[in-house]
Chains A and B, each alone.
Chain A
Amino acid sequence: MTVTATFARDFPTERDSGCPFDPPAEYTELRAQEGTASLACPVGVEARVVSRYADVRAMLGDPNLSSHAAPSTHVVAGGLLDRPVAPGSLLNMDGPGHARLRRLLTPEFTVKRIQAMRPYIQGLVDDHLDALLARTGPVDLVRDFALPIPSLVICELLGVDYADRDRFQEQTAVLIGTNSDPAALEQANLEVVGFMTQLVLTKLAAPGDDLLGRLIVRARESGQELSVEELVTLGITLLIAGHETTANMIGLSTLALLRQPDQLAALRADPGLAGTAVDEMLRYLSIVQFGVLRQATGDVTIGDETIKAGEWLVAALSAGNRDESVFPDPDRIDLKREATAHLAFGYGIHQCLGQQLARVELQEVFARLHQRIPTLRLAVPFEDIEFKNDALVYGVRALPVTWDGENR
C-alpha cells in the first residue's frame, strides 16, 4: 500500500532560473497546469496562486474579492492578515468606500493633468543629469538619480515647500532604502508621519493649488470632508506607492538595458521608442514581484474552478506578464512590443492610480539618460550587483555606473 501525503508546495519566492530578471521558474510550470495551484505562503496560510494572464485579469476584476490585507502580505513570515484597515488606506479598501475615495483622488491623476507635469519632470531629469555629468564616475545611479527624481515629483505633487524638500528627500530615502538599519528606519518613519501631519494641517488651514489643497476643497464641497488621519494616510500612501516603485524601475531597467546592448542602441538611436519601451520594461520586470493578495468574500470563478468565500488568492503579476499566449517570446525584451495590456500596474478597481505619472517619469528618464550619457556602463562586474530578492518591490540596492569623461 502506498500512502501519499499531499502537502501543499511552497509559494515560489526564489529567482532560480539563473537570470535575475526572470521570475521563479516554477511559474512556467504553474501556467501550464489546469486551474489554480494551492500553495503554502510564508505568512502561514495556503493561497490559490493564479498565474495565467487571462486568469489574473478575471481574478482582479471580480467584485467578490477583498483587499483588506496589504498587497504582498502572503510573503511576510509573521505578517498580519487581519490588521484593521486604517481610514484613508486606499489600497486596502473595498467596494463603495474605496470607490468614493478613489474618485476624490482621480482628477489629480488624469492623463491631461499628468501631461501638464511633463515639462517639470523633464527639467528635473535634466538637472540631475547635469549634476551627474559635472562629476566623473563612478556614481551610484540609485542614490543620485533613481531615488531623488520620484521623491521630488511627489513633493511637487503634494505641494511640499521648496525649503523642506531636502529634508523630506533625506527621510524618504532612509525609509525606502533597504540598507537602512531598523532604528534609523523607525526614526525616519516617525519623521515622515510627523512631516506629513504638519503638511496636512497647513493645507487644511489654507488649501493651496496642489494635490492636497484641491483634494481638501473637493471633499468639502461634495460633503465628504476627509479627516486629518485620512489625509495623512493618503499622503503616505502616495509617497510610498509612487516613490519606491518608480525608483526601482529606473535602477532595474537601466541595468537590464545595459545587459541588452542591441535594445539599448535602438533606444539611444530613437528616443521616441521610450513610449513603448516603458510598458515593455514594466511587463518584463514586474517589480511588484510577489504579486497581490486578496481574500474571497463570496464565490469567485476562475476558469472552471470555484473559489469559496474566505479563501486567499494571489495574483502572480510577474507570471501573467510572461504568459506566452499573450506576449510571444515573453522572456525577451522587445522595446517595440505593444505591451500596454501588461499586469505590472495590477488590474481591476485597484489598478495603479499613479500609472500615468509613472509612465511620464520613466519615459523622460528612458529618453534622456542614454542620449545624454551614451557611454553609460557598469562600474563593477555584473555579478557584484545586489538585487532586492526579499523586498516586496524588486530592484537593485545600488547601481555603480561610469562613463567616458568627454561625453556631455
Chain B
Amino acid sequence: MKVRIDVDACVGAGQCVLAAPDVFDQRDEDGMVVLLLEDPPSHLEAATEHAALLCPALAIVVDR
C-alpha cells in the first residue's frame, strides 16, 4: 500500500491521527498532516484506509 497526502488540502481536523496514529501525525506549528509511514505494514492498512475515508478534505490518497 502506498499513501500520499495533500498538505495544501488538509484542514487539520485530526481525523487521520485518531484513526491511524502510527501512520499520521499533525505538525506542531500549524496542525497540518504529517505522513509517518508512506508504506504502512499490512496490519495498519485497514486503519489507513479508514483515515482516508474520514478525512473531510480528501487530503489522503491510498494506492494499493
A110 touches B14 (CB 8 A): yes
B57 touches A110 (CB 8 A): no
Interface check A103, CB cutoff 8 A:
yes
Counting contact residues on chain A (CB < 8 A from B), the size range is 20 to 34
B56 touches A106 (CB 8 A): no
A349 touches B12 (CB 8 A): no
CB of A200, distance to nearest CB on chain B (Å): 22
Interface check B63, CB cutoff 8 A:
no
Interface check A387, CB cutoff 8 A:
no
Interface residues as binary, A334-363 with B (CB distance below 8 Å gives 1, 0 otherwise) = 000000110001111101110110000000
B54 touches A103 (CB 8 A): no
Docked Cα-Cα span, A214 to B12, in Å, equals: 17
A61 touches B56 (CB 8 A): yes
Give A214-247 interface residues, CB cut-off 8 Å to B: none
Docked Cα-Cα span, A111 to B58, in Å, equals: 19
A102 touches B26 (CB 8 A): no
Docked Cα-Cα span, A60 to B21, in Å, equals: 26
Interface residues as binary, B3-26 with A (CB distance below 8 Å gives 1, 0 otherwise) = 000000001111101110100011
A341 touches B13 (CB 8 A): no
* Contacting residues, chain A, for B17 (C-beta < 8 A): 110-112
Point out residues on A near B: beta carbons under 8 Å.
Answer: 60-61, 99, 102-103, 106-112, 340-341, 345-349, 351-353, 355-356
Lowest 10 A-B CB distances belong to which pairs?
Answer: A106-B31, A106-B12, A351-B56, A111-B17, A110-B26, A111-B14, A107-B31, A110-B31, A347-B56, A351-B13
CB of A305, distance to nearest CB on chain B (Å): 20
Give B32-61 interface residues, CB cut-off 8 Å to A: 32, 50, 53-54, 56-58
B56 touches A111 (CB 8 A): no
Point out residues on B near A: beta carbons under 8 Å.
Answer: 11-15, 17-19, 21, 25-32, 50, 53-54, 56-58
* Contacting residues, chain A, for B30 (C-beta < 8 A): 103, 106-107
Docked Cα-Cα span, A347 to B56, in Å, equals: 5
Docked Cα-Cα span, A107 to B57, in Å, equals: 17
* Contacting residues, chain B, for A103 (C-beta < 8 A): 12, 30-32
A349 touches B28 (CB 8 A): no
B26 touches A112 (CB 8 A): yes
**CB < 8 Å neighbour of A340 from B11, B15, B27, B29:** B15
Closest-by-CB residue of A relative to B25 is A112
B12 touches A109 (CB 8 A): yes
* Contacting residues, chain B, for A349 (C-beta < 8 A): 11, 56-57
CB of B48, distance to nearest CB on chain A (Å): 14
CB of B10, distance to nearest CB on chain A (Å): 9
Docked Cα-Cα span, A356 to B21, in Å, equals: 14
CB of A404, distance to nearest CB on chain B (Å): 37
A348 touches B26 (CB 8 A): no
B58 touches A355 (CB 8 A): no
Docked Cα-Cα span, A110 to B8, in Å, equals: 17
Q: Given A111-B17, A349-B11, verify A341-B31 contact (CB < 8 Å).
A: no
B53 touches A352 (CB 8 A): no
From B13, B53, B58, name the one whose CB has the most chain A CB atoms within 10 angstroms.
B13
